Structure 1
Amino acid sequence: MASTDLPPIMLDHLYSMDDNLKAGGPLLLLEDARENPVVGDEPCPDTAPVIDPASISRCCIEKGLFPAVPLFFQYPCSISKGWSEWVNRELQDPATCNILRRAQVLDDIFLSKLWDVHIEAKMLCHMVQRWSAATHTFVCSWGGFTPTLEDVANISRLPICGDWSPFNVALTPEERDKLAVLRRGAPTSPSTSLRFSNWIKHFGDANRQGPCRLAAFIALCLGQFVLCNFSQDCLHVRVFPLPLAIARGDTIPLAPMFLGHLYHLLDQTQLLE
């Protein structure tokens, strides 16, 4: 949470109260909510949950608890150069397609060729400011809503269930050797060895047929489109055990991981205010 002493330049010029939302009724104290139900057209607390206003950035901004500060949406919007060509090349191999199909990620990887993202910064600011970290919902005048596991599965085609816990993937000695190769990344400086562009140039080279090729291919898809850091254009080493399991045809529950990661990132926005 930012200090209220921040200079005016820190105020978010995209923040606006003019969004055509109607004014709500008076807020109830949480401890009194069930003893003093709202009458009239408003729902009774017995049938509708009461959300703590302190968990919603917009309410805190309007109350003056902290100022509206700039939000920078740093997701890498465009697909890394060479990724679509790498996907096309890998999916020409029937054996690779069979492995990815068994792991239930073939559709997701195919769709990733088209996942250019156009950022509507003003709309995203309005949405993020309505996120409640307490309920993991966007709170609007007409009620709350949130991305669901079904949404993730339908849009991304990621698997909901799996063969392994993503936090406890058992690796063979050979796979541990491959893990060490992935952690080293591309043969560049340590600070750039895991960057998407360098990764594609090295592991996605059509003339390179190393033992880590398929795992490196899956790792980039996970790192850029599923479990990205949103703050830097590079892979994170935490994803590497997952592509090694997927490369042998195992299914990992990626949809719940993506949704939980999204919730976590949205929760962090309040800490940045």
Structure 2
Amino acid sequence: MEMEVREAEVMVSPLSGKSFLRTAHFLKPCIQNPESDHLPKTLFSETAISMSQVLSSQIRFTGWTNPPEQWSTWEQKLRSKYENVWRNAGILEAIKASTYRIPRSFDLVLGLAQKWYSETNTFIFSWGEATITLEDIMVCGGYSIVGSSGFFTPLEDEEWKQIEQRLLEVRSNLVKTKAKKAGHCPWLRHFMEEEEGELEHVAFLSLWLSRFVFPRSITKQIFRIAIHVARGSRIALAPAVLASIYRDLTLLKRNYDKAVTKSDDKRGLSGKAIILRAPFQLVQIWALERFPSFHLKSNIIEYAQPLTAKWHKVKMNIIGDVSLALDSSAKTFLWQPYKDSPKFFNEKDRWVCFNSDHSHEYLESFARCLRHSELVGVDCVEMYLPHRVAMQLGLDQCIPVKVAGCKENNAMIAWTNYDRPMTEAMMCIAAVASSSSLEAGVTSKYLEWWNQSKLGFGQQPGASSVPIINISEKLSQVSSEMGSPVQRDQKRSSSDEDLRKRSHSGEAEVEDIANGENMKVVEGSKRAKLEVKMENVIDKFEIVAKEGRFDDKFNGECVSDWTDIDIYFSDFEARIQYLERVIAQLKAAKSGPKNEVLRAKTS
């Protein structure tokens, strides 16, 4: 993991759309050349039929289960004895979370899955790229990011080997019943009623792992992990959980892609069930935390409760087109929704730990959130690429570079790479990312790269997609901030000056619609050239406003000038439409009453 720092970089806010100049921090690997590693244009193409319509009857959320009867009672009984052990093992929050029920929303989860891109393990929305990160799994699920791997750590103590053997015997007896498997409820009844001590504790953890972490029937492989956790050993469960979520999102998307290519009479009629073993409730919680536009009223949780309690039994009454809602959330998407969490952030939005003894561990956890790696699950290895979604982790976004995984897809190699020690430099990067109070943004080159991806690499934007630049009196204020005021032409006629003043009278109203940008600071020899460019754009607009003329030539000339100072803008279509309305008003005013008020402004 490395960080690139660029001085005086032009950044654009994803929320306000405004551009500003400041020192920017990027996660490597990233590039400035927008002509490489473009996303496929097909990712932005909307399909008329939704995933919910195509696949809902075939999907089985076997990993999204409610707690069994008496689970809460068993959890409370053992927590009173082993709470400190669970805390040391990094599973206390996750075990608490297992006692809550999260009502399922097919439309929301499948709407997200429809946006999934397996090559990058990210969601591709019309406005940007996002994903479920290790931080999300830690905060929403309560799983530890740091620790050893239960898959590769052998048992050495004879006492614990004997406990494993007794668990294997009970499992063998359950498999011999009519059910032919070690079911969760029989397992719970047997150990809750007949056993005590460490054996009961390990059996409880085995059921918890088998039902909520790696959902399936009680398997032999899970006992070793349960024993390590029962001893208080810290196990990194977050990467394994996230790997299973990535795997199943890819499974969903591939089945959807196959289904939509079939004819109407064959679509969705294969009858083959799509088994999703990952804890998909975390996908839904991720969406609810980041998309406030769904307007769900959550529970008020106490300090000691896990975040899952916020959505306990909250009904998912999501109405309307989920895909449209997701793609319309550019200005409302919460890039860092956990800043208000008292457990992880203080009043200055800095990553901290409420227990100072574990502050280094929490900083290391965040550092691992920032480092690209491969995540090892029960039966999968998945790429983790945080440099593609740096704004979710408090850093700026540049054009991401494609990262290749381990060719052998070897779980041991992947885990060794994930578990490599964190250097002092990496910890410093984590400290910078977690302590930054600035709003993260994207580079103007990134916006260009993103728009070219949507259009199709090699294509050029048409006239309708050329940006209209926001020109207003604030440019004079900006140039003043630069230290060299723009000298206006004093020989302009009084009628021209009157028109200019009237054109700016609706500035506040237009600004809300156009979301215009302001230049802040430009250093060095570029200052004089920039002033000339600003003058050119102002002069061209005033001529057009006077003559009531609007055409593609004027639009292209303005954009040509503005491109030279490397600023690009969003919401182009809305701005063009607004300027067309302003020009129409100017034309109408020439033949209307003299006392009619003109309100015109470029955006």
Q: Structure 2 length as normaliser, TM-score?
A: 0.33
Q: 5+ residue gaps in structure 1?
A: 1-43
Aligned to 2:85: 99
1:147 is the counterpart of 2:146: no
Residue 166 (structure 1) shift: 2.7
1:261 is the counterpart of 2:244: yes
| CA distance in structure 2 between the aligned counterparts of 1:180 and 1:125, rounded to whole angstroms | 42
Residue 77 (structure 1) shift: 3.3
Aligned to 2:115: 130
Which residue of 181, 184, 197 maps to 1:196? 184
1:63-90 superposed Cα distances (whole Å, 9 cap, x missing partner): 9xxx944441423432111110100111
Instruction: State the number of aligned residues.
Output: 216
Are the counterparts in 2 of residues 192 and 198 from structure 1 also a CA contact under 8 Å? no
Q: How does 1:42-53 map to 2 (within 5 A)?
A: 46=34, 50-52=38-40
| CA distance in structure 2 between the aligned counterparts of 1:247 and 1:145, rounded to whole angstroms | 36
Aligned to 1:74: 61
1:244 is the counterpart of 2:231: no
Aligned to 1:6: none
Q: Percent of pairs identical after alignment?
A: 23
Q: Check 1:180–1:79 CA distance in 2 against 1; reply closer, same or farther (3 A cut).
A: same
Q: Check 1:145–1:73 CA distance in 2 against 1; reply closer, same or farther (3 A cut).
A: farther
1:115-135 superposed Cα distances (whole Å, 9 cap, x missing partner): x12111122221112111101
Which residue of 94, 97, 102 maps to 1:111? 97
1:28-47 superposed Cα distances (whole Å, 9 cap, x missing partner): xxxxxxxxxxxxxxxx9729
Q: Which has the larger radius of gyration?
A: 2
| CA distance in structure 2 between the aligned counterparts of 1:110 and 1:183, rounded to whole angstroms | 27
Q: Check 1:241–1:47 CA distance in 2 against 1; reply closer, same or farther (3 A cut).
A: farther
Which residue of 169, 180, 184 maps to 2:153? 169
Partner AA of 1:104 in structure 2 = G
> Relative to total residues, which structure has the larger strand share, 1 or 2?
2
Partner AA of 1:257 in structure 2 = A
Residue 100 (structure 1) shift: 1.5
Q: 3-state SS of the aligned residue for 1:170?
A: coil
Aligned to 1:41: none
1:228 is the counterpart of 2:218: no
Are the counterparts in 1 of residues 191 and 203 from structure 2 also a CA contact under 8 Å? yes
Q: 5+ residue gaps in structure 2?
A: 1-31, 257-603
Partner AA of 1:166 in structure 2 = G
| CA distance in structure 2 between the aligned counterparts of 1:249 and 1:239, rounded to whole angstroms | 16
Residue 175 (structure 1) shift: 2.4
| CA distance in structure 2 between the aligned counterparts of 1:125 and 1:198, rounded to whole angstroms | 33
1:236-265 superposed Cα distances (whole Å, 9 cap, x missing partner): 433221111011110000111111111112
| CA distance in structure 1 between the aligned counterparts of 2:73 and 2:33, rounded to whole angstroms | 55
Q: 3-state SS of the aligned residue for 1:212?
A: helix
Residue 210 (structure 1) shift: 5.7
Partner AA of 1:111 in structure 2 = A
Q: 3-state SS of the aligned residue for 2:123?
A: strand
Q: CA RMSD in A?
A: 2.9
| CA distance in structure 1 between the aligned counterparts of 2:167 and 2:73, rounded to whole angstroms | 21
Are the counterparts in 1 of residues 150 and 228 from structure 2 also a CA contact under 8 Å? no
Residue 157 (structure 1) shift: 1.8
| CA distance in structure 1 between the aligned counterparts of 2:40 and 2:203, rounded to whole angstroms | 44
Q: 3-state SS of the aligned residue for 1:144?
A: strand
Q: 3-state SS of the aligned residue for 1:117?
A: coil
Runs ≥4 residues deviating over 6 A: 60-63
Q: Check 1:69–1:165 CA distance in 2 against 1; reply closer, same or farther (3 A cut).
A: closer
1:118-160 superposed Cα distances (whole Å, 9 cap, x missing partner): 1111222211121111011111112221111111111122111
Which residue of 141, 148, 172 maps to 1:156? 141
1:86 is the counterpart of 2:61: no
| CA distance in structure 2 between the aligned counterparts of 1:48 and 1:88, rounded to whole angstroms | 55
Q: 3-state SS of the aligned residue for 1:222?
A: helix
Bigger mean CA deviation after superposition, 177-186 or 150-159: 177-186
Q: 3-state SS of the aligned residue for 1:139?
A: strand
| CA distance in structure 1 between the aligned counterparts of 2:215 and 2:105, rounded to whole angstroms | 19
| CA distance in structure 1 between the aligned counterparts of 2:75 and 2:111, rounded to whole angstroms | 35
| CA distance in structure 1 between the aligned counterparts of 2:154 and 2:207, rounded to whole angstroms | 21
Aligned to 1:208: 195
